[in-house]
């Protein structure tokens, strides 16, 4: 038995960790074990990748199967990470169509959470670019899923948190790029209204994200730095960048080697950090500049084990999406409550989202707000209050980040939950696939 946790290191639970090394081994283990779930790089924040009895580590199931440069279609085993894909194929001029905030996620995990990036409002989620999934079910079958075969199961598996079966292989489309650079433009927004206005005005931007200073109050509530981004066309690369068309991805030499003590992160230290961050970002406002793809898409990957900054008690992430109509006022209320509580969440991330297709996919047309909270007394009651606000507005929480929402909250916000259970019953009647999250939410 191993003590396993998600990226937030809360909760920690006991589960037998078994490594599978081939598709055959993964299919076998799925068929023979009860209380099992696949586990990739463990970047989901809560209990999604902790098997009720056994967790199957897919990290050795990491071979590339096929790549067609003419179509950009890549087939890989489920344990291949986006980091490996970028490392292998960016030099040839290809990049994943959708990437989340870290490149250390497996393809299986990216599909199971239907991850989204800074371009969801334009290009959808990871699942929207997947053409085929090879799934091993608890019943012992290996099924091919796609838009034209086993479509119901296909849409249940995208965003299905690994509960329909184990993903052996997947085929998805990469986008062609001319180089490894992004042209970034920073906009300083004085408050939430200005932030949303800036994002709306730049709707045609390929990538956009806002980093909100959630300690700002009053008329500055929701002040942020909005980062817009575009892939750089070949002929726009200046002379000094041309010699470095695909800059090497820096391996993080900077890492947090031990847990910070719990007093390290408090209202004052975070306040100082946010002020510095905001001013540094504001200095670059206005004129677009070139930035390497790696730090643009994955700013936190440069600091290894950054989750240790939150100390041994770990932290919880709250990521919600609020429908467009009331997004500004609801998010304003959320930010107001958070800044009044005074708890130390560094930065909140705000993005615009579009519709999604997986049965349990998180995105809906609206705005998503993501924040971290160190685990402390009173936190869970406070988050329950935030949940009520989100639900009342017709929003929901992101399962890949969730470690504590109640079953009632989940049922009230995911209308396809029952349909998902019906489909799951057809391929896993005994509910052998089971994570701690599935038990908590009654999936």
Site residues (vs other proteins, CB under 8 A): 19, 21-22, 63-67, 84, 88-89, 92
Closest to other proteins by CB, 79 or 160: 79
Question: Considering the complex, what minimum distance in angstroms separates the CB of residue 64 from other proteins?
Answer: 4
Instruction: Of 389, 252, 251, 288, give the one whose Cα is nearest residue 331.
Output: 389
Question: Considering the complex, what minimum distance in angstroms separates the CB of residue 3 from other proteins?
Answer: 16
Cα Rg, the chain, nearest whole Å: 21
Closest to other proteins by CB, 92 or 329: 92
Closest to other proteins by CB, 67 or 227: 67
Q: Which tokens in the block code for residue 338?
A: 């958070």
CA distance 233 to 246: 13
The DSSP 8-state label assigned to residue 435 in this structure reads: B
Question: Considering the complex, what minimum distance in angstroms separates the CB of residue 74 from other proteins?
Answer: 8
Closest to other proteins by CB, 74 or 215: 74
Task: From residue 296, give the alpha-carbon distance in Å to each of 198, 231, 260, 309, 347.
Answer: 19, 11, 26, 22, 16
Question: Considering the complex, what minimum distance in angstroms separates the CB of residue 253 from other proteins?
Answer: 16
Closest to other proteins by CB, 63 or 337: 63
Q: Which tokens in the block code for residue 423?
A: 């489909």
Question: Considering the complex, what minimum distance in angstroms separates the CB of residue 67 from other proteins?
Answer: 5
Backbone angles phi, psi at 200, to 5 degrees: -60, -45
CA 172 to chain centroid: 18
Find the DSSP H helices in 352-430.
379-392, 407-413, 417-427
Please calculate the CA angle 78-81-83 and round it to the nearest 5 degrees: 165
Question: Considering the complex, what minimum distance in angstroms separates the CB of residue 86 from other proteins?
Answer: 12
Question: Considering the complex, what minimum distance in angstroms separates the CB of residue 304 from other proteins?
Answer: 15
Closest to other proteins by CB, 174 or 330: 174
Closest to other proteins by CB, 22 or 149: 22
For β-strands 289-292 and 224-231, DSSP reports them as unpaired
Token pair 């995911």 is found at 414
């Amino acid at each position: 038995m191993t003590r396993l946790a998600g990226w937030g290191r809360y909760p920690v639970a006991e589960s037998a960790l078994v490594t599978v090394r081939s598709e055959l081994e993964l299919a076998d283990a799925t068929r023979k074990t009860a209380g099992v779930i696949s586990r990739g790089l463990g970047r989901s924040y809560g209990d999604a990748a902790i098997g009720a009895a056994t967790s199957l580590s897919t990290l050795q199931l990491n071979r590339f199967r096929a790549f067609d440069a003419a179509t950009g279609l890549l087939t890989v085993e489920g344990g291949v990470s986006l980091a490996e894909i970028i490392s292998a194929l960016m030099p040839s001029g290809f990049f994943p169509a959708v990437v989340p905030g870290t490149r250390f996620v497996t393809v299986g995990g990216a599909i199971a959470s239907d991850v989204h990036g800074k371009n969801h409002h334009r290009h959808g989620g990871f699942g929207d670019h997947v053409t085929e999934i090879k799934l091993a079910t608890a019943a012992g079958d290996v099924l091919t899923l796609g838009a034209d075969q086993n479509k119901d199961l296909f849409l249940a598996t995208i965003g299905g948190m690994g509960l329909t079966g184990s993903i052996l292989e997947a085929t998805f489309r990469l986008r062609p790029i001319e180089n490894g650079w992004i042209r970034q433009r920073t906009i300083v927004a004085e408050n939430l209204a200005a932030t949303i206005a800036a994002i709306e005005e730049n709707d045609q931007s390929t990538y956009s994200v806002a980093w909100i200073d959630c300690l700002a109050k009053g008329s500055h509530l929701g002040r942020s730095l909005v980062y817009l981004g575009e892939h750089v066309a070949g002929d726009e690369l200046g002379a000094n960048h041309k010699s470095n068309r695909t800059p090497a991805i820096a391996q993080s030499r900077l890492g947090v080697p031990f847990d910070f003590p719990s007093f390290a992160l408090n209202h004052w230290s975070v306040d100082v950090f946010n002020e510095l961050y905001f001013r540094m970002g504001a200095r670059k406002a206005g004129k677009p500049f070139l930035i390497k793809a790696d730090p643009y898409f994955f700013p936190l990957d440069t600091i290894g084990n950054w989750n240790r900054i939150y100390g041994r008690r770990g932290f919880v992430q709250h990521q919600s999406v609020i429908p467009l109509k009331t997004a500004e006022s609801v998010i304003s209320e959320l930010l107001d409550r958070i800044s009044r509580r005074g708890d130390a969440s560094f930065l909140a991330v705000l993005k615009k989202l579009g519709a999604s297709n997986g049965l349990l996919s998180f995105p809906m047309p609206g705005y998503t707000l993501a924040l971290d909270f160190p685990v402390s007394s009173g936190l869970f009651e406070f988050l329950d209050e935030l949940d009520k606000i989100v639900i009342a507005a017709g929003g929901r929480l992101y399962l890949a980040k969730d470690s504590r929402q109640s079953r009632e909250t989940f049922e009230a916000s995911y209308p396809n939950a029952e349909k998902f259970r019906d489909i799951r019953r057809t391929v896993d009647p005994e509910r052998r696939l089971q994570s701690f999250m599935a038990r908590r939410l009654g999936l």
